[in-house]
Amino acid sequence: MGLTGLGTPICIGLFCKKRSRNFKAYIARAGKMKKEYCGLFGIYGHPEAARMTYFGLYAMQHRGQESAGIVTWDGTSIREQKGMGLVADVFNERHLGKELKGDIGVGHIRYSTTGASLIRNAQPFLVKFGDLHLAIAHNGNLVNTLELRQELEAQGSIFQTTMDSEVFVHLIAKNLNGNTIEDAVMKACRKCKGAFSLLIMANDKLIAVKDPNGFRPLAIGRVGDNYVFASETCAFDLIDAEEIRPLNAGEMVVVEGGKLTSYTYCESAPKRQCIFELIYFARPDSTVFGEVVYERRKKMGAVLAEEQPVDVDFVMPFPDSGNYAAVGFSQQSGLPLELAMIRNHYVGRTFIQPSQDMRDFSVRVKLNPVKSMIKGKKIMIVEDSIVRGTTTRTRIKKLRELGAREIHMRVSCPPIRFPCYYGIDFSSKGELIAANSTEEEIARFLGLDSLHYLSIDGLLSSVEDKDSYCLACFNGDYPIAPCKGYGKMCLENEG
């Protein structure tokens, strides 16, 4: 038996990035900062599995806009449809009604955190191993990708993508000889280090797995008599599914014949859930890691108001990221909340970019201030995070031009000073303004009268399970150290 699929082998190259503490060099590097990553959805036993998977992915579109894919199983064969772009652009009625037949479905939306944005890297990743059809969808980042891939290639494995997710496929195939698919998956996961939530379709079985630290969210639900899985519970709401529980760290569940069986595949490890899910990534109407996102963001804003109050005329967010923290700040401080910046909800990925001499136009077209609210006013802006700061700087400059008397900013998370190795796309200190500048320097760069970030203690007081979150991007305390040669493009051919 052999492992087969589409594509060609990809050589391994190392990726590195020069760092600089020089502000001028920093500005030259800075561009649009994408913070989304991946979303997973799976369903077992539903006669319209493809359509339900489509709706689930549609609800989680905010988690990734580069590519989308759905695979289905009809009892004898597996079918797939993948493409670059948004969910609504990749799938049509022909795919959902006729081509993607079957009652088991797995879907994936992607923002690349390892590997380039290419169709060959779109997921779910599909292979055939003898009589076994295997499809895998992955959210997270492995930190030992390079060493595992080199080891597997030395043993004869031929890789067809530059995704760390493909490592799982080869490890599973390697461990299938004489073992069940359940044993093979568990053995593969024990070899992998880092963040991974997985959905795996193996013929008529649907398997869900979470890494030992539980970095990435994955929840179990039911719609009727059918089990469903999703990165966020907002996907359950759209299909009228009931949430059962989050998948536990170090847990694998297998659905076969409508029955769910749970396994613990590794020894317990300290739980280190990504707190950025609550700060930024997840939709506010989702429950993630058992916490209601809307409530957590309001609490962050309230604590922020307690930590550093200020005398201003009103509080405003930069929509939509700061909306819910701004509500909490307003309620705690007693200051009025004004929506003095209006978002254009109809600006999409395909909006035609203007010429270089209008390089700020793409920022202005998304958010525009209400001019009468700004002139002569003392304003408090609440944001959820500052990564590079270049977009924020442009918006502050516009408020100054409109005659704002004072502009203050409060940020509902601590300064991001360290790279993330577990699935957030800021993998170099040189990309992080807070890694290279003091709070006062950042305030001057942005054009603010004052700036305050939520403290780490304040952040932890805003969540329920205080000891379970990863704070590495704030304090550099990495639960799992990356292996040598790690980087977003570490598997790309640089030749």
Which residues does the annotation place in the binding site?
274, 420, 470, 473
Separation between Cα atoms, residue 394 and residue 407, nearest integer Å: 13
Q: Does the annotation mark 38 as catalytic? A: yes
**CB of 170 within 8 A of CB of 183?**
no
| Number of Cβ within a 10 Å radius of residue 409 | 25
Residue carrying structure tokens 């640089």 = 494
Annotated binding site for [4Fe-4S] cluster: 274, 420, 470, 473
What residues have CB less than 8 Å from 269, skipping those under 6 apart? Answer: 212, 213, 249, 250, 479
Separation between Cα atoms, residue 28 and residue 44, nearest integer Å: 49
Separation between Cα atoms, residue 141 and residue 418, nearest integer Å: 16
Nearest to 378 by CA among 286, 449, 284: 449
- List the beta bridge partners of residue 158: none
Measured over the CA atoms of residue 255, residue 261, residue 262 and residue 266, the dihedral's sign is: negative
SS3 163: coil
Choosing from 11, 16, 38, 490, the catalytic residue is 38
**CB of 148 within 8 A of CB of 174?**
no
Report DSSP letters for 57-85, one per residue: HHHTGGG--SEEEEEEE-SS-EEEEEEES
Query: What is the DSSP pairing of strand 291-292 with strand 314-317?
Result: unpaired
Q: What is the DSSP letter of 405?
A: S
**CB of 57 within 8 A of CB of 107?**
yes
What residues have CB less than 8 Å from 356, skipping those under 6 apart? Answer: none
Separation between Cα atoms, residue 440 and residue 416, nearest integer Å: 15
Q: What is the DSSP letter of 152?
A: H
Task: Locate 385 and state its tokens.
Answer: 């995070």
SS3 364: helix
Query: What is the DSSP pairing of strand 314-317 with strand 378-383?
Result: parallel
Three-state SS string across 407-448, please? EEEEECCCCCCCCCCCCCCCCCHHHCHHHHCCHHHHHHHHCC
Residues with catalytic roles: 38
